[in-house]
């Protein structure tokens, strides 16, 4: 893997899980990174402080991508701090529920629930990409969106979550059209990932997910981060694609 020294990255939802693993991998390869986190999430500043102490070029980029105006301001501030933007990782997302909601439980999927999911998971990536488009074109850069196998006809945390990720897969293709030929846009679709959210699941449910996976283990955030960095930095002729990273879970 070649050094990414001189390259810059904005990672949304970078305070934990897949986002933080992505920040760490880009940092290890020498990139300068803006780590986006919710303004009231103490994990973001703590991660920035830790990574800077390790000698990495990381700056905080607080902001809520689910809010119109706030997302665009965050992107603008991040680009100003970095000086340019080579890669945008639209990773921020939410299931908006601690436990999966069965498809038949329609009453729990009210307007507020749908709005929370769609504003973060679908409109958030659009807002950030639109705000970063000029900088990405100038750098001949790339975007990677974090989708999900739930957007590819697999059960997710709710039908709203699945719809948001299916929409994101479609949005990835159309953003690739919009930014071509100067910049590329791809997505990853993780399966069962061992994160803070899934860690709270009952042991039997987690084991069932692992048994369904051909490789017989859960994905780690680092597994997904490797695919994200690959699509951003190491695949110059790949665009408009969604790479499934699930160890065979969806097969």
Q: Which two tokens stand for residue 48?
A: 């920035």
- In CATH terms, the fold of domain 8-245 is Rossmann fold (3.40.50)
The pLDDT of residue 195 = 86
The total number of residues shown for the chain amounts to 251
The two structure tokens encoding residue 142: 């790339």
Place of tokens 């504003």: 119
Q: List average pLDDT for each run of 10 residues in the chain, which is 251 residues long.
A: 95 98 98 98 98 98 98 98 99 93 94 98 98 98 98 90 98 98 98 85 85 95 98 98 96 87
Q: Angle at CA 123, nearest 5°, toward 142 and 195?
A: 75
From the list 26, 126, 161, 249, the catalytic residue is 161
> What 3-state class would DSSP assign to 52?
helix
204 contact partners, CB below 8 Å, separation of at least 6: none
Task: Please state, in angstroms and rounded to a whole number, the distance separating the CA atoms of residues 120 and 122.
Answer: 6
**The pLDDT value given to residue 230:** 98
pTM above 0.95, yes or no: yes
Instruction: Say what the pLDDT of residue 12 is.
Output: 98
The full set of domain ranges for the chain reads 8-245
Helix (H) or strand (E) holding 32: strand 32-37
What is the DSSP code (8-state) at residue 108? Answer: G
Catalytic: 249? no
What is the rounded distance in angstroms from the CA atom of residue 147 to the CA atom of residue 164? 9
């Amino acid at each position: 893997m070649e050094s990414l020294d001189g390259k810059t990255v904005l990672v949304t939802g970078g305070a934990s899980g897949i986002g933080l693993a992505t920040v760490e991998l880009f940092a290890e390869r020498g990139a300068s990174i803006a780590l986006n986190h919710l303004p009231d999430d103490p994990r973001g500043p703590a991660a920035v402080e830790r990574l800077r102490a390790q000698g990495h070029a990381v700056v905080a980029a607080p902001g809520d991508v689910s809010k119109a105006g706030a997302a665009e301001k965050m992107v603008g501030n991040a680009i100003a701090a970095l000086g340019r933007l080579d890669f945008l990782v639209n990773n921020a997302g939410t299931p908006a529920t601690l436990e999966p909601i069965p498809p038949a439980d329609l009453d729990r999927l009210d307007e507020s629930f749908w709005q929370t999911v769609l504003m973060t998971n679908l409109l958030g990536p659009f807002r950030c990409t639109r705000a970063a488009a000029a900088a990405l074109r100038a750098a001949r850069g790339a975007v990677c969106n974090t989708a999900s196998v739930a957007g590819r006809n697999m059960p997710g945390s709710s039908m709203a979550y699945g719809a948001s990720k299916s929409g994101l897969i479609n949005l990835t293709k159309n953003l690739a059209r919009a930014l071509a030929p100067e910049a590329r846009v791809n997505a990853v679709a993780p399966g069962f990932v061992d994160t803070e959210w899934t860690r709270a699941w009952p042991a039997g449910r987690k084991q069932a997910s692992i048994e369904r996976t051909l490789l017989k283990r859960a994905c780690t955030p680092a597994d997904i981060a490797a695919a994200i960095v690959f699509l951003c930095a190491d695949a110059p002729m790949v665009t408009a694609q969604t790479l499934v990273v699930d160890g065979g879970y969806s097969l």
